Amino acid sequence: MSEQPRQILDCIGNTRLLPLRRLPSPAGARIFLKLESENPTGSMKDRMALAMVEAAEKDGRLPPGGWVIEYTGGSTGVSLALVCAVKGHPLHIVTSDAFAREKIDHVRILGARLRIIASDDGRMTEKLTRDMIAAAASVMEETGGFWTDQLNNTDQLAAYHRMAEEIWHQTAGRIDGFVQSVGTAASLRGIAETLRRHNPRIRIAAVEPTESPVLSGGPAGAHKIDGIGAGFVVPLWQNGIADRIERVSTAEAKDMALRLAREEGLFAGTSTGANLVAALRLARELGPDATLVTVMCDTGMKYLSKS
């Protein structure tokens, strides 16, 4: 019998891997979803929030009861709010009206302070990202708190190394491809590093918005896929981290998220839809004997106001 959790933070991770049944690859490959919606706040970001806070507590950057600051599209903010509520750290989140209202409300309910930056008609742009970063820097100066700084913080990679080990064991090492959308690039990088240590032949595909394809050398633009596509090449990105970069439009991501709900009964956000679009493309290339894994990044309950 597995050890029972002593607190809600013990419930982070060890999420299940589920095969798609009615959205099969046209090439016959098997596609699995890592159900990160099973984490306490319904998002994979619980993993990285816990890792960043605990690393800072351990080395003294974050003293007991110290302030935590972050800018976020929502899911990281909710995850940090959960972690900080349990650990007794006041939290100040910088976010924007571009992101789902449910996430902002969830952060507030968990006790965090909020600074909301106005967007360009609800769209994610490079300017918005940089405005949020500047606001977070200002809050850090005002409070003297610890800025988790997710775009630069490598402490979170350990959380995704552990997630990759889960995937490796759940597939019994039979995995040919992994697909993940890029926000901070931490999840793609951390998972890819560990999977490739096990098998360097595993194909890794990164996903970015068609409207803002900066990783593949295109111009920055505006899109409406929550949590990915910052509009510039993020610091944690590394050339060679992915074998290919797939461009997926907001419309394609939304359509696939709806298909996932209606054909598989899995209600997820648009970043998950983007992951599946790209996974189906990679499956065509790898063929009928291949096994691919991608990520259900979060629950669609975070996006009801945008559905």
Tens-digit pLDDT profile for residues 248-262: 999 999 999 999 999
Give dist(CA 297, CA 42) in Å, integer: 8
Q: What is the pLDDT of residue 89?
A: 98
Q: What is the pLDDT of residue 72?
A: 85
Give dist(CA 179, CA 296) in Å, integer: 11
pTM, two decimals, is 0.93
- Across-strand partners of 298? 43
- Across-strand partners of 147? 69
Q: What is the pLDDT of residue 307?
A: 60
Q: What is the pLDDT of residue 146?
A: 97
Give dist(CA 288, CA 280) in Å, integer: 12
Give dist(CA 283, CA 287) in Å, integer: 6
Which residue intervals of the chain are DSSP H helices? 45-59, 75-87, 101-109, 126-143, 157-170, 186-198, 250-264, 270-286
DSSP assigned state of 300: G
10's tokens = 């013990």
pLDDT-flagged residues of the chain (< 50): 1
Residue 92 near residue 139, CB atoms below 8 Å: yes
Q: What is the pLDDT of residue 169?
A: 98
Rg (CA), the chain: 18
Domains along the chain with CATH numbers: 8-39+159-306 (3.40.50.1100), 45-147 (3.40.50.1100)
